[in-house]
Chains A and B, each alone.
Chain A
Amino acid sequence: DIVMTQSPDSLAVSLGERATINCKSSQSVLYRSNTKNYLAWFQQKAGQPPRLLIYWASTRASGVPDRFSGSGSGTNFTLTISSLQAEDVAVYYCQQYYNTPRTFGQGTKVEIK
């Protein structure tokens, strides 16, 4: 199984400031034949299901604000919230879809400082 490890486990950021979450996979999720990274990011607010934010490591899903961006390749990835808003308080998960079993990071809780 590919193990996904996120850091930090939690972070508190002031409104309008940048939030950065890291995700590392135990093996590369880059498929060389199409140069795509099989990595997604999800946002989960309290009492709600996960919401797809980013796929292919850097493509925003429909309706996702452009303050959310994803980067990275191979085994190291980053989710950045460029200017934190109150509605961004949530737990964020990375997930690989390179192979089965699908695996998720342990989650990063983002709060307002």
Chain B
Amino acid sequence: QVQLQESGPGLVKPSQTLSLTCTVSGDSISSDSYYWSWVRQPAGKGLEWIGRVYIGGNTNYSPSLESRVTLSVDTSKNQFSLKVTSVTAADTAVYYCARETIPSGYFDYWGQGTLVTVSS
């Protein structure tokens, strides 16, 4: 059974960098059959796609976040990571990691989500 688990600080100060990691179990992150993605959800609001990373290093980002976001993969730990720089209160949200199938493209597995609050 595939499982994804987000981890990282729950509180980040404004202007600093938000860093989260998603640990994958039950599957190899080195598989060429998936993209590894991040989606966020502010409290009481809808879902926003942040971006995705492929094992080969290819990435795609949301245009609205592209200048501040970096995704990466660590095959030795079966993890992938998200960094968002220069955060503001608008970046406060529950952050989900998810697996996207290739070549189909739909999200079939999600992590439980982790709340990140941006506040001084």
Spell out A's residues near B (CB within 8 Å). Answer: 1, 38, 40, 42, 48-52, 55-56, 61, 93, 95, 97-98, 100-107
Known A-B contacts A49-B110, A52-B108; A100 and B47 likewise in contact (beta carbons under 8 Å): no
Spell out B's residues near A (CB within 8 Å). Answer: 37, 39, 46-49, 52, 60-63, 96, 100, 104-108, 110-113
Majority-rule SS of A interface residues: loop
Residues in chain A near residue B96, CB distance under 8 A: 49-50
Known A-B contacts A38-B105, A40-B106; A49 and B111 likewise in contact (beta carbons under 8 Å): yes
Q: How many A-B residue pairs have CB under 8 A?
A: 57
Q: Contact between A97 and B110 (Cβ–Cβ < 8 Å)? A: no
Beyond the given A52-B108, A55-B104, A97-B106, could you list 19 further A-B residue pairs with CB under 8 A, ordered by the A residue number?
Answer: A1-B63, A38-B105, A42-B47, A48-B112, A49-B96, A49-B111, A49-B113, A51-B110, A52-B106, A61-B108, A93-B46, A95-B106, A95-B107, A97-B104, A97-B105, A97-B107, A101-B60, A101-B62, A104-B48
Q: Contact between A50 and B108 (Cβ–Cβ < 8 Å)? A: no
Q: Contact between B106 and A104 (Cβ–Cβ < 8 Å)? A: no
Q: Contact between A50 and B107 (Cβ–Cβ < 8 Å)? A: yes
Chain B residue at minimal CB-CB distance from A100? B60
Q: Contact between B63 and A49 (Cβ–Cβ < 8 Å)? A: no
With the chains together, A42 CA to B46 CA distance in Å? 12
CB distance from B61 to the nearest CB of A (A): 8
